[in-house]
Amino acid sequence: KQTLLPLLREEISSFIFPCSPALQRPERQYMVMELLRCIPLLLFLLFVCGLDHFIFSILSIIQHHSFIEYSYQTSHHLSVNVMGSSLMAELLRGTIGALNTSYDTEVETSNFACLPQPTGMTRQQYLHTCLPLGVLVLLCLAQVYPFRLRRAIAAFYFPKREKTRVLFLYNKLLRQRKNFLQLQRGRLARQARLPPTLGASLLQWCRRRWPWLRRYLRRSCTLCGTPETPQHLPCPNPDCGALYCESCW
């Protein structure tokens, strides 16, 4: 509850507000870790696509530059002429004449059947291959919003456990603020013991000499470093001159 324990500026970055549409710091850290896990898949996918294109290029070169076509032509003519009109001549013409042959042979062949026939992937196929990885990346970006429902679901089924968690968080914040206040007091005390630098002294003198420069030469909160606004409060000690924002004050 904002009325019970208003968060300081340093504490806001460590909490997740379910109604905020923006990605918050703890969610961004978890999202970056999930995206880093997708990098090996992306590298593997690029390697596979590159290897596929390389093999296709090699096979395509072999197909176009290793094609050989053979053409074989031959002719054969055999004719036996037996002269004469005797019985023996007639007998020879009837037997040996059957050997008379004549044929022409023309053969054309190639090594086309032995060559590889590669088929390259289209852009649509590459897109369908990379689509699951793209969906995975989108899920890594959008999963932070469903994860915010985990606490609400757990609080609905285990209200006593939720009350214990809230009390633990409240006491933890109070302890952190107490320790933070002690640490900052020690830091500011050490900083106050140091002599002012030349730039700070010159800036302070310009602000006192020309009050209209205060609009441009704005100071910042000594504790959290927020730029000066009308809500900032100076230290009542005239020898201090430190400036604090409303929450730090």
pLDDT in tens, the chain (249 residues): 666 777 877 788 888 888 888 888 888 888 999 999 999 999 999 999 999 999 999 999 988 888 888 888 888 887 777 777 777 777 777 777 677 777 788 888 888 888 888 888 888 999 999 999 999 999 988 888 899 899 889 999 999 999 999 899 889 988 888 888 788 788 777 877 777 666 666 666 676 666 666 666 667 777 777 777 777 778 787 777 677 887 777
CB 67 within 8 A of CB 110: yes
Two tokens, residue 72: 């074989």
C-alpha 72, offset from chain centre: 61
Cα separation, 165 vs 10, whole angstroms: 21
User: What sign has the CA pseudo-torsion 230, 234, 238, 239?
Assistant: negative
Whether pTM exceeds 0.85: no
* Range 171-178, long-range pairs (CB < 8 A, 24+ positions): 173/5, 173/11, 176/11, 177/8
Interatomic CA distance for residues 168 and 77, integer angstroms: 111
Q: Which two tokens mark 167?
A: 């009390």
